[in-house]
Amino acid sequence: MAGVSVTMEVGNDAVAVITICNPPVNALAIPIIAGLKEKFDEAMRRDDVKAIVLTGKSGRFSGGFDINVFETVHKTGDVSVVPDVSVDLVVNTMEDAKKPAVAAIQGLALGGGLELTMGCHARISTPKAQLGLPELTLGVIPGFGGTQRLPRLVGLSKAIEMMLLSKPIMSEEGKKLGLIDAIVSSEELLRVSRQWALDIAERRKPWMRSLHMTEKLGSLSEAREILKVARQQAKQTAPNMPQHQACLDVIEEGVIHGGYNGVLKVPNVTDLGLKPRPVKKVAVIGGGLMGSGIATSLILSNIFVLLKEVNSEYLLRGIKLIEENVLGLVARRKLAKDKADKALSMLKGVLDYSEFKDVDMVIEAVIESIPLKQKIFIEVEKACPPHCILATNTSTIDLNKVGEKTSSQDRIIGAHFFSPAHVMPLLEIVRTEKTSAQIILDLMTVGKIIKKVPVVVGNCTGFAVNRTFFPYTQAAHMLLHLGVDVFRIDRLISSFGLPMGPFQLQDLAGYGVFLAVGKEFSNAFPGRTFLSPLVELLVKSGRNGKNNGKGYYLYDKGSKPKPDPSIVPIIEESRQIANILPAGKPISVTDREIVEMILFPVVNEACRVLEEGVVVRASDLDIASVLGMSFPSYRVHLLHHLQLQGRGFKLLCPAFQPASKPTGRCRI
Ligand SMILES: C[C@H](O)CC(=O)SCCNC(=O)CCNC(=O)[C@H](O)C(C)(C)COP(=O)(O)OP(=O)(O)OC[C@H]1O[C@@H](n2cnc3c(N)ncnc32)[C@H](O)[C@@H]1OP(=O)(O)O
Output the pLDDT for position 526.
87
115 among known catalytic residues? yes
Using CA atoms of 142, 146, 148, 152 in order, give the dihedral in degrees to the nearest 10: -150
pLDDT of residue 633: 59
Domain boundary among 443, 458, 473: 458
Q: Is the domain of 449 the same as that of 469? A: no
d(CA 481, CA 514): 17
450 with 488, same domain?
Answer: no
Residue 16: inside a domain: yes
Please tell me the predicted confidence (pLDDT) of residue 202. Answer: 92
Alpha helices in 253-407 (DSSP H): 289-300, 312-331, 337-344, 370-383, 399-402
* Residue 14 lies inside a defined structural domain of this protein: yes
Q: Are residues 303 and 182 in the same domain?
A: no
Q: What is the CATH number of the domain that holds 191?
A: 3.90.226.10
Our answer on whether the CB atom of 119 is closer than 6 Å to any ligand 1 atom is no
Q: Residue 430: what are its φ and ψ, rounded to 5°? A: -105, 120
95, 115, 520, 605: the catalytic one is: 115
CA of 25 to the centre of ligand 1 (A): 6
3-state secondary structure of 639: helix
Which of these, 636, 585, 572, lies nearest to 606 by C-alpha position?
636
Phi and psi for 528 in degrees, rounded to 5?
A: -135, 40
Same domain, 447 and 509: no
Separation of alpha carbons 482 and 571, rounded Å: 11
CATH number at residue 580: 1.10.1040.50
Does residue 116's CB lie within 6 angstroms of at least one atom of ligand 1?
Answer: no
Amino acid at 472: Y
What CATH number is attached to the domain comprising 423? 3.40.50.720
What is the CA 280 to chain-centroid distance, rounded? 27
What is residue 655's predicted lDDT score, i.e. its pLDDT?
32
**C-beta atoms surrounding 271 within 10 Å:** 10
CB-based contacts of 383, cutoff 8 Å, min separation 6: 353, 356, 357
Considering the domain architecture, whether residues 27 and 52 belong to the same structural domain is answered as yes
**Closest ligand 1 atom, residue 115 Cα:** 3
Q: Which residues contact 558 (CB under 8 A, 6 or more apart)?
A: none
Residue 652 in domain:
no
| φ, ψ dihedrals at 531, nearest 5° | -90, 100
Residue 71 near residue 65 (C-beta atoms within 8 A): no
Q: What are phi and psi of 414, to 5 degrees?
A: -95, 130
Verify that 479 and 433 share a domain, yes or no.
no
Q: What is the ipTM of this complex?
A: 0.93
Same domain flag for 207 and 318: no
Are 365 and 432 part of one and the same domain? yes
Whether 662 is covered by a domain: the verdict is: no
Count other Cβ atoms within 10 Å, centred on residue 104: 29
Count CB atoms within 10 A of the CB of residue 445: 16
pLDDT, tens digit, 9 for 90 and up, residues 317-369: 999 999 999 999 999 888 899 999 999 999 999 999 999 999 999 999 998 88
Distance CA 261, CA 120 (A): 19
Do residue 617 and residue 469 come from a single domain? Answer: yes
CB of 263 closer than 8 Å to CB of 193: no
C-beta of 143 in contact with ligand 1 (< 6 A): yes
Domain endpoint, select from 458, 490, 506: 458
Q: What is the pLDDT of residue 661?
A: 30
CB contact set of 436 (below 8 Å; sequence gap of 6+): 410, 411
442 lines ligand 1 (CB under 6 A): no
> Distance between alpha carbon 52 and the CA centroid of its chain, in Å?
29
Structural domain includes residue 104? yes
Output Rg (C-alpha) for the chain, integer angstroms: 27
Number of domains in the chain: 3
| Residue-level pLDDT at 517 | 82
The H or E element containing residue 361 is strand 361-364
**Is residue 188 annotated as a catalytic residue, yes or no?**
no
441 plus 539 within the same structural domain: no
> Which positions ≥6 away from 559 have C-beta within 8 Å?
none
Residue 221 lies in a domain: no
Cα 30 to middle of ligand 1, angstroms: 15
Instruction: Indicate if ligand 1 lies below 6 Å from the C-beta of 414.
Output: no
Say if strands 389-392 and 453-458 run parallel, antiparallel, or are unpaired.
Answer: unpaired
Last residue of a domain, one of 211, 226, 249: 211
Task: Say if 271 falls within a structural domain.
Answer: no
Among 280, 292, 283, 276, CA closest to 383: 283
Exposure letters 514-529 (e unless 16+ CB within 10 A, then b): bebbbebbbeebeebb
Residue nearest to atom 16 of ligand 1 (CA): 63
Residues of the chain short of pLDDT 50, as ranges, are 262, 637-638, 641-668
User: Can you give the pLDDT at residue 264?
Assistant: 65
- Of the candidates 300, 291, 294, 302, which has an alpha carbon nearest to the alpha carbon of residue 335? 300
What is the 170 CA–ligand 1 centroid distance (Å)? Answer: 17
- Residue 289 neighbours by CB under 8 Å, 6+ apart: 321, 419, 420
Distance of CA 14 to the CA centre of its chain: 36
Taking the alpha carbons of 624, 629, 630, 633 in that order, is the dihedral positive or negative? negative
65 lines ligand 1 (CB under 6 A): yes
pTM: 0.64
Q: Does residue 507 sit in the same domain as residue 429?
A: no
User: 509 and 415 in one domain?
Assistant: no
For residue 163, the one-letter residue type is: M
Q: Kindly give, in sequence order, each residue whose CB lies less than 8 Å from that of residue 586, ignoring residues fewer than 6 positions away.
A: 482, 483, 484
Say which DSSP state 267 is in: T
- Between CA 476 and CA 552 the distance in angstroms is 13
Give the model's pLDDT for residue 170. 98
For residue 506, the surrounding DSSP H or E stretch is helix 502-509
Q: Which domain holds residue 449?
A: 281-458
What's the 151 CA to ligand 1 centre distance in angstroms?
Answer: 24
User: For residue 369, what pLDDT is reported?
Assistant: 87
For residue 66, tell me if it sits in a domain. Answer: yes
Q: What residue type is assigned to position 54 of the chain?
A: L
Positive or negative, the Cα torsion across 166, 167, 172, 176? Answer: negative
Please provide residue 55's backbone torsions phi and psi, each rounded to the nearest 5 degrees: -145, 175
